[in-house]
Structure 1
Amino acid sequence: MYLYLTGGKTEFKGKRMSDKQVIYHAINTGIIYVHPEALKNGTVALDDFPTSVDVIIASEPPEGALELHPAPRGWMVKE
């Protein structure tokens, strides 16, 4: 399973995922997908992830990816 990080409106409801969990998952899979808007508005920075993780910029999530939206503390899984 891949993670797809988005930018935009903060989500308050849904399953939470902390920044640490996102980074841990990215390190284990070696890849993470990021919406270009998330980079543009500063929701995600390339420096957030170690060099061992491939950060792929994609306007749509890959099939089967867990879509995450920014939340007050960490991320929220889109339902």
Structure 2
Amino acid sequence: MPRRKRHLKINSYDLQQIDQQIGLLRIATRRAQISLTPLREHYSALSELDRALHRALNLLNDRPANYREPHHAPMSQG
């Protein structure tokens, strides 16, 4: 069986697919979190999952792990 070449970075197609799936997962977790009591086990687990997904996406996009996109005023992005 032939070996496949390993790469240092993820390709753009795979990254796009992961980004789309994480977006869908975030929508589902936020919807579920709305119905939960804050600061309880299930609520906290969903919060931790969201932070872990955010950190992973930052690293995959070659950004610092704790990077947050700066807030922009409405209609200022053109």
TM-score by length of 1: 0.25
Q: Looking at CA atoms only, which structure, 1 or 2, has the larger radius of gyration?
A: 2
Q: By percentage of residues, which structure has more helix?
A: 2
Instruction: Report which structure shows greater RCO (CA 8 Å, sep ≥6).
Output: 1
- For normalisation by structure 2, the TM-score amounts to 0.25
Higher strand share: 1
